[in-house]
A = this chain, B = another copy of it.
Amino acid sequence: MQKKKVTARIPSGFLELLPKEQIEFNKMFSQIKETFELFGFLPIETPAVELKDVLLAKGGGETEKQVYRLSAKTGETDMCLHFDLTVPLARYVVQHMNDLTFPFRRYQMQKVWRGEGAQKGRYREFYQCDIDVIGTFCPLTDAEIPSVIYEVFQKLKIPKFTIGLNNRKFISGIFETFCPDSLLTDFFRIADKLPKIGVDAVRDELLNLGISLDDCDFLIRALSFQGTYSDLEDMFPDWKNANQLVRDGMAELESVYNGILAFGVPADYMRIDLGIIRGLDYYTGSVYETTLDEYPKIGSICSGGRYDDLCGYYTDRNLPGVGISIGLSRLFFQLKEAGWLDSSRSSTADVLVVSAEKAALQYSMQIANQFRRAGINCEVYLEDSKLHKQLKYADSLGIPYVVILGSEEMESGKIVLRNMITGLQALVLLPDAVREISGLKEPAVENRS
């Protein structure tokens, strides 16, 4: 009796790639990792699973609704999948406090899960690539974080982007100059929606708070500011006479803005943007968002900021820090949609060794070993197939070179090297083949710009 077949499919809202896309994704992943390490960030990896009371120590809000709970027949029901890498970091830092050196500079690149309603480019499982520096108030650290991101995106060769910088103290101070600070949370909630709902709707909501029309317009003009630090000084010439928050925020903005330049980020890749709010609580100083100049609709592809107290739910010790996160799965999807992915390679193999006759198979295996020893990714076609079928296999996988071996080659010691793109082939010595194939290593990096 034939058993009924189950339809092969994945849950909705989950991303799965074909091998050639996976190669592109993995390349981006490696380049991000290498750049984080270039700045001396240390890797950590936390379990995907955290205890419920630890993960939801803060509790409430969307997060708790979206968290995936686990249950197994053999036991516990008190576990959840993590929904970001920040809560696990806070837990990690407290748990391993005595084994860490501060300032603790860590990177972490893992999947996270959120039971969100599925929509295009939004996933229930996605990669976050985070860096954070814990245990320092130094504003230069706030400047270093975006400079790392600049280097990452340069390495990824993504289209022109702008790193936006704001400071929560400054914008709070501006608000509190003429509004009661009890309304600050409401202000942030409304201001955060500006890009979505537009100026008029924001003005209406601010008016509803009891703010005067003039003040509303001033606040909206402030939130709409984008420019250099010197532009900002022009806009707020009297800032030195303003309240403490404004003065502190302005001083931080100056340090961080100039620090980012000192780290080598070109001025046209960054701007101060007072409209960057980043949610209602959590951040206490610098905040960042990064947007692609030509694809503004994508929104921020990399965001973060400074927080005064990372680990407050787990310890009395005050641990300030600053961090940023790249939503890699989403970025990958968006770049793919925009046709901006490097798809120059659809195969890991640089060369396929094929046998024109069965007697050459063992020789093929030896030649392949020599390619591998030279650092060339090499596959051998092992099945006893006609030559045209073997070439077709290389072609459909996008393997750029094929080496063809038969009894003549076994005698002469030379090999036939075929360039699968041009279709040209030549009888060459192995070291010459190695040299030619090595020439195509990492071509994508050069081809793009």
Tell whether A365 pairs with B263 under 8 Å between CB atoms, given A16-B92, A66-B74: yes
The docked-state distance in angstroms from the alpha carbon of A211 to that of B233 is 94
Please indicate the chain B residues that have their CB under 8 angstroms from the CB of A3 in the complex.
312-313
Tell whether A73 pairs with B115 under 8 Å between CB atoms, given A140-B382, A347-B42, A382-B141: yes
Contacting residues of chain A (89-146) with chain B, CB-CB under 8 angstroms:
90-92, 94-96, 99-101, 103, 105-106, 111, 113, 115-117, 124-125, 136, 138, 140-141, 144
Q: Residue A22 contacts which of B42, B151, B365, B379 (CB distance < 8 angstroms)?
A: B42
- Interface 0/1 of A256-280, CB less than 8 Å to B: 0000001110000000000000000
A359 interface residue per 8 A CB criterion: no
Stretch among A7-15, A162-170, A240-248, A406-414 lining the B interface: A7-15
A41 interface residue per 8 A CB criterion: yes
Please indicate the chain B residues that have their CB under 8 angstroms from the CB of A39 in the complex.
372, 377-379
Please indicate the chain B residues that have their CB under 8 angstroms from the CB of A365 in the complex.
262-264
Stretch among A48-56, A177-185, A193-201, A212-220 lining the B interface: A48-56
Contacting residues of chain A (395-431) with chain B, CB-CB under 8 angstroms:
396-397, 399
- Interface 0/1 of A376-390, CB less than 8 Å to B: 011110111000000
Please indicate the chain B residues that have their CB under 8 angstroms from the CB of A115 in the complex.
72-76
Among A6, A40, A53, max chain B CB count under 10 A is at: A40
Tell whether A382 pairs with B144 under 8 Å between CB atoms, given A42-B19, A74-B66, A377-B38: yes
Band of interface residues on A = 35 or more
A44 interface residue per 8 A CB criterion: yes
Query: Which residues of A line the B interface, CB within 8 A?
Result: 2-3, 5-11, 14-19, 22-23, 25-26, 36-51, 53-54, 57, 64-76, 78-79, 81, 90-92, 94-96, 99-101, 103, 105-106, 111, 113, 115-117, 124-125, 136, 138, 140-141, 144, 151, 262-264, 311-316, 347-349, 352, 361-362, 365-366, 369, 372, 377-380, 382-384, 393, 396-397, 399
Q: Offer 10 A-B interface pairs, CB within 8 angstroms, sorted by A.
A: A6-B54, A8-B94, A22-B43, A22-B45, A23-B43, A40-B377, A65-B72, A68-B70, A70-B81, A140-B382
